[in-house]
Structure 1
Amino acid sequence: MTNYQTYFEQNRDKHLGELKEWLSIPSISALSAHKEDVLRAAEWLKDALVRAGLENVTLHETAGHPILTADHLHAEGAPTLLIYGHYDVQPVDPLNLWDTPPFEPSERDGKLYARGATDDKGQVFLHVKALEAILAQEGKLPVNVKLCIEGEEEVSSPNLVEFLDANAAALAANAVLISDTSLLERGKPAISTGLRGLCSLEIALNTANTDLHSGSFGGGVPNALHAIVSLLNSLHDEKTGQVLVEGFYDDVLPLTEELRGELVKMQYDEEKLRTDLGLEALFGEEGYSFLERTGVRPTLELNGVYGGFQGEGTKTVIPKEAHAKITCRLVANQDPQDILNKIERHLHAHTPVGAKLTLVPGEKAFAFNIDPTHPFLQKAADAYEAVYGTRALFTKDGGSIPIIEAFSRVLEAPVVLMGFGLPDENLHAPNEHFNLENFDKGLLTLVHYLKSL
């Protein structure tokens, strides 16, 4: 790897300059005002892939933002990798909390600050430059490579699954390689072998046909806020932390000793977390550690509860309606629609007298899981060790990236999650940044991984 280290050192300023150009484009997929900027970011990447030596570089129109594909298929007898990432970014609000403008990339303290620096332009850029380096140094790639880079990940990839279904043969690969996750902490790489699924819903409770004066009607009519507090309280056992929806855990597989042992290896400091968050105590399902609760057990959480008077001062009113937003993180074998059905039955059965329930379902996504003993994952762990000096741990992440499950299912291929971010890099928040130590090591790790295959 010595020649590659020299190559990347000699080209570092040039590479960072190119990345800053890309990060300067405000490709915010959620805001229609930035539709042209999203297209500009896609075209920038298209040009970068052509310069890198990739072939068949194509922008595909969708009902939303374009999907970019490319390939280099000249390694006869070698496996084929499909590299996935996204070039869209999150909105930047609140702007006043940024120390430097989000689309004017700046370096300080060994970090590159900009929206998209770690999520996901910076990590996608590593793949582009790793491929470019191998082609520049050796004239050929050790594996066959396909790329599929989208511009709608930050708005739940509404057009990508349809694109995958329609182009499954063209995108077929032995494995899917994605860099959109993080190390455990500085110097401690990790490969996620599981992401939780998701389902969400919004509920409303209505009582009278108008708000009422609490002096004239209080104590004599149903109160929508009282009703929703009672209803939401029925969802959990306050002592054990378990979800009380009938059948919620029916399809949940018990934790194996092997998995529990792998999580113990992470040496997670629950007491430090408690102190950092200013909490008197952590909370969750009885009998499980923090990592187990947040990575491999299902949850039901309230994300918003609102209704009645919320302005300054006092308003003596009995509100006629109240609302709540709920999300569930799901694990292997749980069907999002089945869980929504069970929650709906529970809510109807526990709606207080005098209140009418309205329920609107939202997002649905299955969990993703992969066996860490798969050779593609083992070689990824070896590649981290070769560069970082520490072999990657196999983890379970509590978040949800629905498109990863879709890639695994549609292409029937293992998904290798090789991330180079850090948990504290403020993705989705002001002052997002990418540690340049992992920029440098990430390039070498990806080269090592591709050559090891």
Structure 2
Amino acid sequence: MRDGLSGEGLQRKALDAVDAGLDAALARLFDYLRIPSISTDPAYEDACRAAAEWAAGTLEELGLSAAVIPTTGHPMVVARTDTGAARRVLFYGHYDVQPVDPLELWETPPFEPRFGAGADGRRTIVGRGASDDKGQVLTFLEALRAFRTAGGAPPVDITVFLEGEEECGSPSLGGFFAAEADRLKADIALVCDTGMWNPTTPSITTSLRGILSMEVTVHGPSRDLHSGLYGGAARNPIHVLADILAAARDADGRVTIPGFYDAVREMPQEVRDAWARLDLGPDEFLKPVGLSVPAGERDRMLIEQIQSRPTLEVNGIFGGYTGEGAKTIIPAKATAKISFRLVADQDPSRIAKAFEAFVRDRLPADCSVTFSGGHGSRAFLVDPASADLAHAAHALEEEWGIAPVMVGSGGSIPIVGQFKSRLGIDTLLIGFALDDDRIHSPNEKYDVTSFHKGTRSWVRILQALG
């Protein structure tokens, strides 16, 4: 039975509860951050289990029915309410964190959270996982607590799904989905693992590029050769591979693989106009990393190059002798690691086949080629006309006093593709991280304002989605 308190009155009381309970909420976050749940290192297996149990216990305390579900790796946490609401939302986050290396660059121990201050005086929470993703997850859980404290419940049923292997490639996720998909059925998914446009402007990530990773090796002579004896006559695999990779992009920044752009969907003009108004330029985006000239498609805005256009990048290239000093050889082989960032409607398997054909067509006599990898995930795009998107945007504007920026992400979040392909649901990616949160780096932090107003935002969003 749902509580009689509802609507604006419940939202107002829940928002008051968030404000009154901020110090207690921060104390709970500090408890969570003290658990060293590093998923990539087997030495922290018990800590990952402890983090899962901490989260499940918190969810039980909030009135959800929670379970810690074993997998072939670290466990999953699934919790749910069943109030009979007309709609159900699925909230996803992860309890695992990145390793802390290099430890000597931390100003204080990474699993002893503390308050700090940003360069502009903003109050921060410092510790591994503060932003990615424990602090973000707790904004949602504390919103649920606020509804409970207010004497009511959100107007939607809730499923919370927390993963323990997001930072190590989610190796157990496929098997878990195959076995447990029924537990996760919902009308829409919510993910809080993204960021804001700036400290005062919220954003909703409406598209994610997909990813395809491959490795290509060109084989030449049967062994490394003396470059004095064979140089000039023997085929050099490094030359061959470099020539092929150079041919894969033209002088205008376009990928030249036949068919590469066939399935690329143009963003609606109103979206491109909104992006143009953001005026993201090289000084703001490239100058901080020591660059000044956008290298993507010349006829595209910089923001398009990083959000809605596909790419081919060489992530590493190696062959022959790479140690100290000289060793004058022609190597037997050369290898490159390649990644593609894909956009809506591009099929990773088709792009992989097209790239293989492109390489083989340019392979000279006396050389052969092998490929590995070739698996990837599709891109994700929210329908700009989505009613849920509009409701969430309005809720964020009410909280922050400014309309959220609708942005794409150049990165990939494979779980979002799984929600679409396996559960048939769309995802709203709403996060409160900032560009200077130092995620994956020493001295990771999360702004207290992000935590506080993020929690208030979820109260408003849940009310709006109902």
TM-score by length of 2: 0.92
1:163-192 Cα shifts (integer Å, max 9, x gaps): 334333332212111111001111111111
Q: CA deviation at 1:206?
A: 2.1
2:405 is aligned to 393
Q: Distance in 2 between matches of 1:360 and 1:260?
A: 37
* Structure 1 residue 329 corresponds to structure 2 residue 338: no
Residue matched to 1:439: 451
Q: Percent identity?
A: 38
Give the AA of the match of 2:63.
G
Distance 1:422 1:353 in 2: 52
Tell me which amino acid in the other structure corresponds to 2:317.
Answer: V
State the shift of 1:92 in Å.
2.1
Q: 2:139 aligned with 1:126, yes or no?
A: yes
**Equivalent position of 2:218 in the other structure:** 205
Looking at structure 2, the residues matched to 60 and 182 of structure 1 have their Cα atoms a distance apart, in angstroms, of 29
Q: Which residue of 2 aligns with 1:100?
A: 108
Q: Write the letter of the residue equivalent to 1:81.
A: V
Deviates more, 1:336-345 or 1:162-171: 162-171
Q: CA deviation at 1:230?
A: 1.3
Cα distance, 1:335 vs structure 2? 0.5
Q: Which amino acid aligns with 1:233?
A: A
Read off the aligned partner of 1:10 and give its amino acid letter.
Answer: A
1:193 to 206, 215, 218: 206
Code of the aligned partner of 1:61? P
Between the aligned partners of 1:316 and 1:85, the Cα distance in structure 2 is: 51
* Structure 1: distance between partners of 2:353 and 2:190: 34
In the alignment, residue 339 of structure 1 is paired with which amino acid? I
Question: Are 1:262 and 1:395, in contact at CA under 8 Å, matched by a contact in 2?
Answer: no
Alignment of 1:33-112 (within 5 A): 33-54=43-64, 56-74=65-83, 76-109=84-117, 110-112=123-125
The offset of 1:217, in angstroms, is: 2.1
Question: Structure 1 residue 14: deviation in Å?
Answer: 2.1
Q: Distance in 1 between matches of 2:151 and 2:463?
A: 11
Aligned residue number for residue 29 of structure 2: 19
Kept after mapping to 2: 8 A contact 1:384/1:392? yes
Q: Count matched residues.
A: 450
Query: Of the candidates 225, 235, 243, which is equivalent to residue 230 of structure 1?
Result: 243
DSSP-derived class of the 2:278 partner = coil
Deviation of residue 396 (structure 1)? 1.3
Among 190, 193, 199, the alignment partner of 1:177 is: 190
CA distance in 2, matches of 1:274, 1:334: 27
Rounded Cα–Cα distance in structure 2 between residues aligned with 1:144 and 1:254? 36
In the alignment, the residues of structure 2 paired with residue 395 and residue 339 of structure 1 have an alpha-carbon distance, to the nearest angstrom, of 25
Aligned to 1:261: 273
Could you tell me how far apart the structure 2 residues matched to 1:439 and 1:405 are? 27
Deviating more after overlay: 397-406 vs 270-279: 270-279
Preserved contact between residue 75 and residue 164 of structure 2 (Cα < 8 Å):
yes
Question: Which amino acid letter does the alignment assign opposite residue 73 of structure 2?
Answer: G
Deviations 1:87-122 (A, max 9, x none): 111222222332222222121101112221111111
Deviations, residues 252-310 of structure 1 (Å, cap 9, x unaligned): 12333122112123231333323323224221112101111111111010000112222
The answer to whether the Cα contact below 8 Å between 1:303 and 1:324 also exists between their aligned partners in 2 is: yes
Q: Secondary structure at the match of 2:147?
A: helix
The aligned counterpart of 2:8 is none
Contact kept? 1:284, 1:293, Cα under 8 Å: yes
Deviation of residue 214 (structure 1)? 1.9
**2-side partners of 1:113 and 1:351: how far apart?**
52
Match of 1:8 in 2: 18
Deviation at 1:337, TM superposition (A): 0.5
State the 1:3 CA deviation.
4.2
Match of 2:421 in 1: 409
Q: What runs of 5+ residues in structure 1 fail to find an aligned partner?
A: none
Partners of 1:255 and 1:386 lie apart in 2 by 27
Give the corresponding residue for 1:291: 303
Worse-matched range after superposition: 428-437 or 209-218: 209-218
Distance 1:285 1:20, change over 3 A: same
CA distance in 2, matches of 1:206, 1:97: 42
Deviation at 1:390, TM superposition (A): 0.8
Q: TM-score, normalised by structure 1?
A: 0.95
> Is the Cα contact below 8 Å between 1:372 and 1:394 reproduced in 2?
no
Three-state SS of the structure 2 residue aligned to 1:265 is helix
1:143 aligned partner? 156
For 2:125, give the aligned amino acid.
Answer: L
The superposition leaves residues 182-222 of structure 1 with CA deviations (integer Å, 9 ceiling, x where unpaired) of 01111111111110111110111222222222222222212
SS, match of residue 29 in structure 1: coil
Asked if structure 2 preserves the Cα contact closer than 8 Å seen for 1:29 and 1:38, the reply is yes
Amino acid aligned to 2:67: T
In the TM superposition, what whole-angstrom CA distance separates every residue of 1:72-94 from its partner, at most 9, and x where no partner exists? 121x4432111111111122222
Please report how far the alpha carbon of residue 362 of structure 1 lies from its aligned counterpart in structure 2 after TM superposition.
Answer: 4.3
- Code of the aligned partner of 2:114: S
Contact kept, 8 Å, 1:80 with 1:145, in 2: the verdict is: yes
CA–CA distance in structure 1, aligned partners of residues 45 and 359 of structure 2:
40
SS of the residue aligned with 2:148?
A: helix
Contact 1:247–1:342 (Cα < 8 Å) also in 2 = yes
Q: Are residues 1:248 and 2:260 paired?
A: yes
Indicate the residue corresponding to 2:120 in structure 1.
none
1:2 is displaced (CA, Å) by 5.5
